[in-house]
Amino acid sequence: MEFTVESLEQPALTKAQLADMLFDNIGLNKREAKDMVDAFFDLISESLIKGEDVKLSSFGNFQVRMKKARPGRNPRTGEEVPIEARRVVTFHASGKLKDSVQAPADMA
């Protein structure tokens, strides 16, 4: 089963569009499709909030890491402002995804 996003009017793929694709291609009703997409993203979010890594085969890895406190600068005034330590989510694409993105559009 292949999903295409070429017909999208927006440059971004939304959760609603993902639910519509599940409805069109798998046959779930609209409510089930929306619930499935929401549950998928809720599981990913909950895992990241707990500090767990999320690995999606052939897609990539989401990781939570700590950034140290550091000095920053207000670009408008030039004033130095301290940036507090914080947790951030990083994403590293898999080799397969990177190769797919680099392939010419007509070959992908």
Domains defined along the chain, listed by start: 13-52 (4.10.520.10), 53-108 (4.10.520.10)
List, for residues 71-100, the tens digit of each pLDDT value: 999 999 999 999 999 999 999 999 999 999
List, for residues 6-44, the tens digit of each pLDDT value: 554 557 889 999 999 999 998 889 999 999 999 999 999
How far apart CA 47 and CA 32 sit, in angstroms, is 22
List, for residues 52-73, the tens digit of each pLDDT value: 999 999 999 999 999 999 999 9
**pTM given for the model:** 0.74
Tally Cβ neighbours within 10 Å of residue 19.
Answer: 20
